[in-house]
Chains A and B, each alone.
Chain A
Amino acid sequence: MERIVIIGNGISGITTARNVRKQNSKAQIIVISSETKYFFSRTALMYAYMGHMKKEHMKPYEDNFWAKNRIELCFAHVNTIDFNGQKLHFSNGKQTNYTKLVLALGSKPNKFGWPGQDLEGVQGLYSYNDLELMEENSKNLRKAVIVGGGLIGVEMAEMFRSRNIEVDFLVRENRFWGNVLPKEEGNLVHKHIAEHGVKLVLETNLLEILSDENGRVRAVKTDTHGEIECQFVGLTAGVSPNIQFLKEAELETDRGIVVNEFLETSQPNVYALGDCAQFKVAPKGRRKIEQVWYTGRMMGETLAKTLTGKRTEYKPGNWFNSAKFFDIEYQTYGVVSAQVEEENEQFYWEHTNGRMGVKFVFNKSSEQFVGINTFGIRMRHELFDKWLTNTKSIDFVMEHLEDVNFDPELYKQYGSEIVNAYNSQFGKNIQIKKKKWARIFS
């Protein structure tokens, strides 16, 4: 009988398990994790810390869901994998075999060899254990230093600020999330973060983490601001594939586990996906490793097809993503690069309140719409996805801004204001169309 064993119960592994079950009612499905028995949503870790939720609310499915769908959960740690014998060896000495193996191992926070990086009070934020550790480390915490200007860093800052803990945010680049956000958007986020009492320390490198007599962090040493006293250091300078236990194994790895477009590894009947997978050839317009919730989920849906007899290539569609910076929501559809490409033109509108901003990118010559960043205004995924696929023009997008708005009812609409600004900047005369259901749900 088919025995599909999945290591890792994050969004990638669980999506695979659920979708295999949808398409195959017979196969044995075993999901192994040494993090938690039940699947929980990593994205909710911050809300549990801030008291918006209890830990139990992080679980998207009730505990009886798994037995009902005959997905066996196994709370254990895999030490080694015997690929030839198709066997897993657990840390408790037990073993189990598989006919197909799925590696959904996730990531771990980057540590770049800073002196003092393993002191007490120094940690990243990725796993359930990290949350518990952070809770522990928050006792008597007055000031935290966060290193690395990305999404987890800003989440961590929000977590601490919810408890009135002082935060210094060290960023190596000259702006927050500088490899992703263009300058205007970066500025908008900066101002907002500062309003929440976070001190952004830009263009600054961490040199060393200093210890007190008990082996706990007491300060960090930086290249521009000298020593900064603190009782906590958050390492949020990205994550990398959690594959160290495979380094000796007979499996092709690089930074991640190397996979082809079918998520197949160098070993037969062994697959990898999500954060830990690295594509031999990146999908069109994508990176080789994409550590995003959504891509993990999409890979899981794809892999489940392959595992149930319909070998399917992973073909991500138009890029999309989202985040929230304290009170400002961010969505993006299509491609908006930190530095606008030579062949592209951009248009940016920002509300005077500094809490809303929209960036449009389009091709200079063809005027084809390329991508959008939207802050503080919600937009419809489905429509943008369709427009990108059907290569609509920037003028078309402008005309239909009311259709694509996804803000709650009764919210003030900024479509006309945006179109007016666009018209005057580019000498156009676009008239915004009134919202029409037939176009939205066609």
Chain B
Amino acid sequence: MSNTNEKNLVKSLGVPAGLMLSFIGLIILILSWVGVSLSPIFIWLCLGSMLTGMMVFGVSTYAGESEGIKNNGIWTNTLTNRGLLAWVSGVVITGFYVELYWFPEMLGLNAEGTNTGLIAFFDPLSYALKGAPASQWFVYGTIYTICIVGLGVKFIFKYRHSRYQMWRTISVMAAQLFLAYFIPEILEGMNEDQPYFTKDLKHFWPLNYYFFDDWHLNNMTDQASGSMGMFYMVWGILGFTFLTPIITYYVGKRWYCSWICGCGGLAETAGDPFRHLSDKSINSWKLERWLIHGVLVYITVVTAVVLYAYFTNSSTFLGLDIYTYFRKPYAFLIGAAFSGIIGVGFYPLLGNRVWCRFGCPMAAYMGIVQRFKSRFRITTNGGQCISCGNCSTYCEQGIDVRAYAQKGQNIVRASCVGCGVCSAVCPRGVLKLENGPEENRVTDNPILIGHEKTELNKEII
């Protein structure tokens, strides 16, 4: 019993201490946002206390508890059940995104002269990394990375009984920290003369919608970019033509969506407390198919037009200005409003994977591969399903997993990002994510094992 008490002490001190530290960081951030000028030391204090605060909070939240599923009270908590706290957080995050995308000057961006406010606050860190002043994207990237790493630690502790969940989370944390943040920023600093092009190795088209824009292609092929620009161009093209479909064939789209993707990384860590809020209705599934494939078609058309412009050296298509009528609307509607504002700002209201489920063209592309030509499936374990519904409730992609499992049917769905949480929360060991032979992967006419009966009618209800 004494052991339990000690652990409870860790919890009772660690949780408030962690929250306090995170809030101190947050308050410093807000002070600089509203224009209070702070000495450079405060950026390190701010980020350090946010990061350690999140980690301390994450570790102590589950301290002293038996390893297992930690969903007690999820649907009664104000933050995780669309209560007041959820609405407040939704409004604050959305507000931040609006300023970030459309009014960066309100964050203190000054393209002509010296930054002020929040962006100036990040200048010391930016100089340390790449020897240049911060931009709104640098500020965003830094906070984003801290959230993934800090709350990734929380996720690992929550699921410390599951090695699949631990490795997956370590992977998204490392991908964000190195591939998306440190390596690109440091490379920028080392090659000051190069014009800008994306240096995140995993940021493939069509998620990276500007890859084929003329300025981006030009910057990569610019003389000053040298072999590095060429490498990134070839890699980017191979990435979406070969790498993506081939890996998706072998392991499903999860290799991207829940192992290395930045959007997925934030969804799985900071967004984990909201995963159950996804809509499971058949209507939402219909909406999903129209929207996500619509976005894929949209970006394909935009990219085709942009490439046409590049090779013909023209700036209009059928008399329409390409920037005004093609690139800009996509960047505004999809790149900013959908992926940022709805995708992240609405985490506490619509769930953590709204963008991944309804909007991401990369997910749509891999989804088609996963559905029709892949070894990945979620196997249903014979007749063991008890229809309890934990799997469906906790599916962040809104898949009604139970509908398949209770029929003894494997789950083969375009939208599954392979997070593995359905399998984790199943109290009867019914679900397993695996990469097996393609043959009989889709079990359209399942038989529930358990008794000797003749074949069921083909029609499934």
Q: How far is the CB of A72 from chain B (nearest CB, A)?
A: 15
Interface size on A, residues (CB 8 A): 66
A316 close to B450 (CB less than 8 A): yes
**Closest residue of chain A to B425, judged by CB?**
A52
Q: Is there a chain A Cβ closer than 8 Å to B327's Cβ?
A: no
Q: Which of B66, B388, B436, B452 contacts A315 (CB 8 A)?
A: B452
Q: Is there a chain A Cβ closer than 8 Å to B292's Cβ?
A: no
Q: Which of B384, B389, B434, B453 contacts A44 (CB 8 A)?
A: B389
**Closest residue of chain B to A355, judged by CB?**
B67
Within A391-442, which residues are at the interface with B (CB < 8 Å)? 406-412, 437-438, 440-441
Interface centre among B72, B436, B440 (most CB of A within 10 A): B72
Bound state CA distance, A420 and B400, in angstroms? 41
A51 close to B453 (CB less than 8 A): no
A411 close to B164 (CB less than 8 A): yes
B439 close to A327 (CB less than 8 A): no
- Interface residue SS majority, chain B: loop
A301 close to B427 (CB less than 8 A): no
Q: Which of B66, B72, B73 contacts A327 (CB 8 A)?
A: B66
Bound state CA distance, A112 and B76, in angstroms? 36
Q: Is there a chain B Cβ closer than 8 Å to A221's Cβ?
A: no
Residues of A within 8 A of B69 (CB): 52, 327
Bound state CA distance, A318 and B384, in angstroms? 13
Number of A-B contacts (CB under 8 A): 180
Q: How far is the CB of A64 from chain B (nearest CB, A)?
A: 9
A60 close to B432 (CB less than 8 A): no
Residues of A within 8 A of B77 (CB): 51
Q: How far is the CB of B72 from chain A (nearest CB, A)?
A: 4
Interface segment, A344-352, A360-368, A374-382?
A374-382
Bound state CA distance, A401 and B266, in angstroms? 37
**Closest residue of chain A to B163, judged by CB?**
A410
Q: Which of B71, B393, B429, B448 contacts A301 (CB 8 A)?
A: B448
Given the contacts A43-B387, A58-B389, A21 and B428 also touching, CB distance less than 8 Å:
no
Bound state CA distance, A343 and B72, in angstroms? 45
Given the contacts A22-B459, A22-B461, A441-B439, A315 and B393 also touching, CB distance less than 8 Å:
no
B388 close to A50 (CB less than 8 A): no
Given the contacts A378-B381, A411-B164, A317 and B449 also touching, CB distance less than 8 Å:
yes
Bound state CA distance, A409 and B452, in angstroms? 31
Q: Is there a chain B Cβ closer than 8 Å to A322's Cβ?
A: yes
A314 close to B451 (CB less than 8 A): yes
Within B138-192, which residues are at the interface with A (CB < 8 Å)? 161-164, 167
Bound state CA distance, A412 and B163, in angstroms? 8
Residues of A within 8 A of B434 (CB): 409
B403 close to A60 (CB less than 8 A): yes
Residues of B within 8 A of A23 (CB): 457
Q: Is there a chain A Cβ closer than 8 Å to B423's Cβ?
A: yes
A380 close to B393 (CB less than 8 A): no
Interface segment, A101-109, A116-124, A231-239, A292-300?
A292-300
Within B420-457, which residues are at the interface with A (CB < 8 Å)? 420, 423-425, 427-429, 432-434, 436-437, 439-440, 448-454, 456-457
Q: How far is the CB of A198 from chain B (nearest CB, A)?
A: 12
Q: Is there a chain B Cβ closer than 8 Å to A255's Cβ?
A: no
B453 close to A312 (CB less than 8 A): yes
Bound state CA distance, A409 and B432, in angstroms? 8
Q: Is there a chain A Cβ closer than 8 Å to B386's Cβ?
A: yes
Given the contacts A196-B66, A408-B420, A51 and B71 also touching, CB distance less than 8 Å:
yes
Bound state CA distance, A66 and B115, in angstroms? 62
Q: How far is the CB of A146 from chain B (nearest CB, A)?
A: 19
Q: Is there a chain B Cβ closer than 8 Å to A302's Cβ?
A: yes
Bound state CA distance, A316 and B67, in angstroms? 36
A301 close to B451 (CB less than 8 A): yes
Bound state CA distance, A413 and B381, in angstroms? 18
A53 close to B390 (CB less than 8 A): yes
B389 close to A53 (CB less than 8 A): yes
Q: Which of B162, B384, B403, B453 contacts A381 (CB 8 A)?
A: B384
B384 close to A440 (CB less than 8 A): no
Given the contacts A316-B451, A326-B68, A437-B437, A408 and B423 also touching, CB distance less than 8 Å:
yes
**Closest residue of chain A to B420, judged by CB?**
A408
Residues of B within 8 A of A312 (CB): 453-454
Q: Is there a chain B Cβ closer than 8 Å to A206's Cβ?
A: no
Provide the A14-47 mask, 1 if CB < 8 A to any CB of B, else 0.
0000110111000000000000000001011001
Q: Is there a chain A Cβ closer than 8 Å to B2's Cβ?
A: no
B68 close to A406 (CB less than 8 A): no
Residues of B within 8 A of A43 (CB): 386-388
Bound state CA distance, A315 and B450, in angstroms? 9
Provide the B362-384 mask, 1 if CB < 8 A to any CB of A, else 0.
00000000000000000101111
Bound state CA distance, A305 and B440, in angstroms? 26
Q: Is there a chain A Cβ closer than 8 Å to B282's Cβ?
A: yes
**Closest residue of chain A to B441, judged by CB?**
A441
Interface centre among B74, B77, B439, B452 (most CB of A within 10 A): B452
Residues of A within 8 A of B116 (CB): none
Q: Is there a chain B Cβ closer than 8 Å to A79's Cβ?
A: no
Given the contacts A50-B72, A54-B75, A441-B436, A385 and B387 also touching, CB distance less than 8 Å:
no
Bound state CA distance, A44 and B74, in angstroms? 15
B428 close to A322 (CB less than 8 A): yes
A–B Cβ pairs within 8 angstroms, 12 of them: A11-B387, A22-B461, A41-B386, A57-B392, A297-B383, A317-B452, A320-B449, A327-B68, A329-B428, A331-B384, A406-B432, A409-B434
7 closest A-B pairs (Cβ-Cβ)? Answer: A381-B382, A327-B68, A378-B429, A51-B73, A324-B427, A43-B386, A52-B71
Given known contacts A312-B454, A317-B449, what 12 new A-B pairs fall within 8 Å (CB)? Answer: A41-B386, A53-B389, A59-B389, A197-B4, A302-B451, A317-B451, A326-B66, A327-B66, A408-B163, A410-B167, A440-B436, A441-B437
Q: Hey, which bits of chain B sit against chain A, CB under 8 A?
A: 4, 66-69, 71-77, 161-164, 167, 281-282, 379, 381-384, 386-390, 392-393, 402-403, 406, 420, 423-425, 427-429, 432-434, 436-437, 439-440, 448-454, 456-457, 459-461
